[in-house]
Amino acid sequence: MLDRADHIIPFSFPKDHGRHSQFGTEWWYLSGRLSSESGTDWAYHFTIFRRAFKRWSSLALVALAISVKSIRNIEFFKRSFARMLESREHRRIGVEGYVGHLSITNIKEKNFVFFERGGISLRKVAGATDDGLCVWVKEWKLKEENGTIHLAAERNDFSVDLDLLPMKPPILNGARGLSVKGQEPGEASYHYSIASLKTAGSLKWRGNTHQVSGASFMDREFGTSILPRSIRGWDWFGLILDNNHEVMVSIIRMSDGTMAETSSATMVFPDGAWRCVAAVDLQVEIDDFWTSQATGARYPVHWFVRVEPLNVELEIAALIKEHELVSATSTTINYWEGPVNVSGNMFGQSVAGHGHVELVGYAESAGGKF
């Protein structure tokens, strides 16, 4: 039987950067803003998802889909994968599926690319270690050695090869790392972040390699049956500010689109301390939307966020409104994930910055799928 996130647990790092095989769902997330020697600015987003398979039939269907280079009957695959995601059984067969997502954005060109990779834990095609950060999907890999996280992912004429050095320790979101989503016990995840990572390495765009440097944000969650069906999705903001503060906002959206009382925000201070606040302290106003021709989803792309107890007022604007990621052959969940610019006031002083926003549940409901 798989465990659920239904009580506060102690965290131990670097061990908790590794796999949590006793839970059904887990992901490792990184996003950042980079500058190159040519003066071009870039953004990237990289995620590896882990899913415990519950039935041999589910494994067979997904393994077949992953192994086929060109999936002709994509609707059949999507329905099969969706049935696996929506299963409420907490048993497992000891085999795991892994999916990698990579997007790279050329900010000057206002253009981006998105790639997916999938694999299963059999024969170590994909997997993760339990005692520290090492997770991979085929040749895509995220690994920590001697305090530095190395990210390597390449597809066609595009790649990132980055070293990420944490400048602050991990912070625990929610109630000491327990991030509640629904009303029932276990409708939650264990959630922590490393909000400040000094980043340097190389980025390849259309076959041309650039030396880059900048800052990244890492986010981690794991649990079992995290989202109830009453939850439509979430709006997640990972923001890095120029005054050495970082802000993470997690808006949990109900099926009617309203903000759930389990929404929250976390501010990280220059000394690494942090403070979490609840939904009652959050005010979010949406100023602009973009509608996708591919999925019909209507996404917010311009926000005003106010966190009264933290004395913060931020304007957040998407750099590319069309930054929807259509996940046809991996998670089958379409979502918006893209870079944003930030401006506003904090503690009575002007502040600016950048970050990433993730919008899930607009093209289709994510309730019951995580």
Tell me whether residue 259 is exposed, middle or buried, using C-beta atoms within 10 angstroms of its C-beta: 0 to 12, 13 to 18, 19 or more.
middle
Q: What angle do CA 127, 131, 136 make, to 5 degrees?
A: 20
pLDDT score of 69:
44
Contact residues for 1 (Cβ-Cβ < 8 A; gap 6+): 90, 91
pLDDT value at residue 38: 82
What span, in angstroms and rounded, lies between the C-alpha atoms of 242 and 353? 5
Q: How many CB atoms lie within 10 A of CB 326?
A: 16
Question: With 80 as the cut, is the pLDDT of residue 30 above it?
Answer: yes
In this predicted structure, the answer to whether residue 187 has a pLDDT above a threshold of 90 is: yes
Q: What are the distances in angstroms from CA 29 to CA 62, 159, 175?
A: 22, 17, 20
Token pair listed for 106: 């050329």
Domain ranges of the chain: 15-360
Rounded to an integer, what distance in angstroms lies between the CA atom of residue 15 and that of residue 107?
A: 36
The model's confidence at residue 327, banded by pLDDT at 50, 70 and 90, is confident
Query: pLDDT at residue 115 above 50?
Result: yes
Three-state DSSP class for residue 197: strand
Give the model's confidence band at 252: pLDDT under 50 very low, under 70 low, under 90 confident, else very high: very high
Alpha-helix runs per DSSP H in the chain: 56-67, 74-86
pLDDT at residue 72 tops 70 = no
DSSP 260: P
Confidence of residue 85 (pLDDT cuts 50, 70, 90): low
pLDDT digits (tens, 9 = 90+) for 13-25: 999 999 999 999 9
Is residue 119 predicted with pLDDT exceeding 60?
A: yes
User: What average pLDDT is seen over the chain?
Assistant: 89
Question: pTM of the prediction?
Answer: 0.89
CATH fold of 15-360 = AttH-like fold (2.40.370)
User: 224 or 61: which carries more pLDDT confidence?
Assistant: 224
Residue 212 has pLDDT above 90, yes or no: yes
- Inform me whether the pLDDT recorded for 261 exceeds 90: yes
Q: Is the pLDDT of residue 80 over 90?
A: no
Residue 362: is its pLDDT beyond 70?
yes
